[in-house]
Amino acid sequence: MASYFIDKVKKKSKKKQLSPDIIAQERDELLRRYRKTILFNEREISLIEQYCTKYKISSQSTLFRDIIISHILQQVDDNYPKLF
């Protein structure tokens, strides 16, 4: 009886392994290939640097990417056609 429960626990605890092909495909899809350049004036860059220092942000590119994508997604969500 005890071995039945042990076998059942072992089966549940096994993690599903993804094939290397799927992992490589996902990695390839998430690879960033396109570059955009942004220019800031002195006041803007000073403000950005102060913000990053205050909140201990080490990657400004990640910060910009997150802000831009979240803003775009918010606008898409706000402009979604409503039925009623």
pLDDT at 1 over 60: no
- The whole-model pTM stands at 0.62
pLDDT at 40: 97
List, for residues 44-83, the tens digit of each pLDDT value: 999 999 999 999 999 999 999 999 999 999 999 988 887 7
Q: What residue segments make up the domains of the chain, in order of their start?
A: 37-84
pLDDT at 24: 85
Q: Which of 19, 20, 57, 61 is nearest to 38 (CA)?
A: 61
List, for residues 11-23, the tens digit of each pLDDT value: 655 566 778 888 8
